[in-house]
Chain A
Amino acid sequence: MTDHYGYTAAKPPLRESSEQLRARVPGWGVDLDPQDRPSVPKLQLDPDATGAHWEFPERQPEHWPRERSIEHQFLTPVFGTAQPPRGLSGAIRKLAYARYSEGRAAHWLLLMAADRVDTVGSTLTSLASPHPDNLLAETGVLSEFKAHGLRSRLGERRTDVVHHPLDPIIVAGPWLLLGVVAYRTAKRVASRLRG
């Protein structure tokens, strides 16, 4: 019963022996010993190995009330200071952090909602700034011509090609929606003024 592996005790033989593999694959087996690998065992207590010369790091100054997970005991001694929360999106972010733990879907869904509000708000305000958003340049779609957009997608049996048409909708969708709302509101206002 050699061809009923799994149903009998033997392990199926390999097509290539270790000697054959060592000859074919450069470096085969240089880390053969499972105990002699950098992340084995997972936990290796060695606080002197890192170059750190503190027990607890000095605290970085906090220039604004830094939002933090309520699962932390306190603000971590070091943190990023990029893009402080601002405007409506900032208010939503602060609420997500102050109110909901990381264990709650509401925490993440509010943050995602804030991300969308941030995008729409930032794009609108950019239009009045010296650096208005340029969707054509920012989406990088012009590379389609230089980088063989069609040839890269056809020829192969790529499954992702099916959903590529959704991408422009994700980029343009909020603007179309905003356009429709603006148009409807304008129409309503106009008819009110007339009537």
Chain B
Amino acid sequence: MKAMTYRGPYRVRVEEKDRPRIEHPNDAIVRVALAAICGSDLHLYHGMMPDTRVGHTFGHEFIGVVDEVGPSVENLQVGDRVMVPFNVFCGTCFFCARGLYSNCHNVNPNATAVGGIYGYSHTTGGYDGGQAEFVRVPFADVGPSKIPDWMEDEDAVLLTDALATGYFGAQLGDIVEGDVVIVFGSGPVGLFAAKSAWLMGAGRVIVIDHLEHRLEKARTFAQAETYNFTEHDDIVVKMKKITDFLGADVAIDAVGAEADGNLIQHVTSAKLKLQGGSPVALNWAIDSVRKGGTVSVMGAYGPLFSAVKFGDAMNKGLTLRMNQCPVKRQWPRLFEHVHNGHLKPSDIVTHRIPLEHIAEGYHMFSAKLDGMIKPLITVSATS
């Protein structure tokens, strides 16, 4: 089969690979129809995630058709159209039993500090991902859901991560009616977090980025008030000024490890890999929120330490909340919101790229070319 493979920092290619096999009785093999590149994939692509092996196939956002099932699979049949959450999870460990699907204890031998994720290095379990024609899906009775007939493929693929994560990020902000919410990052996760903040009754939603085309999307898609941090000498002071010098009630970090805005932080993490991630946006969030406020961290950071302003967070009495998103837990409610038209996830898709051209897709997404916000990877027809 054809699969995207990692060759080293900033280098990927498409090559012929063996088709994945059933390795456990509850596995399924899914023929991928549509996949996506996520901001998280950039951390791998740039070589920031430890134990990213040459030959690894990325891709944790994908939908497709069940092609083969293991002997113990009861809930899926060959031919079912399925959407697969980015988490690999067992359903019964201490954590899954309590709804923390992103923190499963039974699927990632390589680390206890993170659960299982498709196509996300060996640090998250060593599973090849969905930017390929076929993918192994463990715990087929637990992870995937059949795509409802009324749901469009492009909406379904965005539900496997970006939308669920943005929505989860807003929840971790503990938003109550009338709260002032600042979202750092106007990528897919930030856009969905901003939109979700309104659903939870925010009184004001502010989005920060430095890419104009993305801020434009925050205004049109998420009805948000936007600020370009390059236009302000000090974005934290600007946030204080526009919130009556009190600070926001809630701030959401939807940027993560490659944050810009401070060259030393960015270069020491994204380029030199001396930090787990560049915490520029996280530090801005900590400093922009009011005392006693909440910071929700959706941005991903590597397992090495990062230079976070912890003292400010402590002295301000902040609540810091964070996790990888337990995707499937969000689905019943999000299916309703998509069905009712409250959310139209595919509105943020800007590019559709065939699998064969994925190397160019990565470069464009990494360098943020051509107004790219969310690239989908077209692999095969669904039916």
Contacts and interface: CB of A to CB of B under 8 A. Distances in A.
A69 B223 contact: no
B11 A46 contact: no
Residue in B57, B91, B204 with the greatest tally of chain A CB atoms within 10 Å: B91
B52 interface: yes
Given A122-B55, A171-B10, A76 B107 contact: yes
B155 to A, nearest CB: 15
Interface string A66-79: 11110110011111
Interface in A27-63: 27-32, 34, 37-40, 42-47, 49-58, 60-61
B245 A6 contact: yes
A83 B364 contact: no
A16 B267 CA distance: 41
Contact of B53 (A44, A83, A152): A83
Contacts of A131: 15
A195 interface: no
A80 B122 contact: yes
A144 B370 CA distance: 9
A81 B23 contact: yes
Contacts of B174: 34
Interface stretch (B28-36, B59-67, B195-203, B312-320): B195-203
Given A57-B26, A152-B368, A170-B271, A38 B329 contact: yes
Contact of A170 (B9, B25, B127, B332): B9
B238 interface: no
B204 A14 contact: yes
Contact of B92 (A55, A76, A133, A137): A55
Given A60-B23, A140-B359, A12 B54 contact: no
Contacts of A122: 7-8, 54-55
A97 B13 CA distance: 28
B228 A82 contact: no
A78 B106 contact: yes
Contacts of A141: 363
B266 interface: yes
Given A115-B51, A167-B10, A52 B142 contact: yes
Nearest to B276: A108
B188 interface: no
A55 B168 CA distance: 28
B360 interface: yes
Contact of A40 (B171, B212, B337): B171
Contact of B260 (A58, A66, A159, A170): A159
Nearest to B54: A122
A80 B359 contact: no
A3 to B, nearest CB: 7
Interface in B254-307: 260-261, 263, 266-267, 270-271, 273, 290, 302-305
A100 B123 CA distance: 14
A11 B178 CA distance: 10
B249 to A, nearest CB: 9
Nearest to A77: B106
A190 interface: no
B178 A14 contact: yes
B369 A43 contact: no
B342 interface: yes
Contacts of B368: 152, 158, 160
Given A69-B109, A102-B111, A147-B364, A27 B199 contact: yes
B24 A78 contact: yes
A37 B173 CA distance: 12
Residue in A18, A43, A44, A115 with the greatest tally of chain B CB atoms within 10 Å: A115
A70 to B, nearest CB: 10
Nearest to B329: A38
B10 A147 contact: no
A159 B230 contact: yes
A44 B211 contact: no
Residue in B96, B200, B230, B372 with the greatest tally of chain A CB atoms within 10 Å: B200
Nearest to B330: A38
25 contacts: A6-B244, A31-B200, A31-B333, A32-B177, A39-B172, A43-B100, A47-B92, A50-B142, A61-B23, A67-B110, A69-B111, A78-B116, A78-B138, A82-B56, A82-B122, A108-B302, A119-B9, A122-B54, A133-B11, A138-B13, A143-B369, A163-B271, A166-B271, A167-B10, A170-B271
Interface of A: 3, 5-6, 11-12, 14-16, 18, 21, 24-32, 34, 37-40, 42-47, 49-58, 60-61, 66-69, 71-72, 75-83, 89, 93, 97, 102, 105, 108-109, 111-112, 114-116, 118-120, 122-123, 131, 133-135, 137-144, 146-149, 152-153, 156-160, 162-164, 166-167, 170-171
Interface of B: 7-13, 15, 23-26, 47, 50-57, 72, 74-75, 88, 90-92, 96-101, 105-113, 116, 122-123, 125-128, 138-139, 141-142, 168, 171-172, 174-178, 180, 195-196, 198-201, 203-204, 210-213, 223, 228-231, 243-246, 260-261, 263, 266-267, 270-271, 273, 290, 302-305, 326, 329-330, 332-333, 337, 340-343, 359-364, 367-372
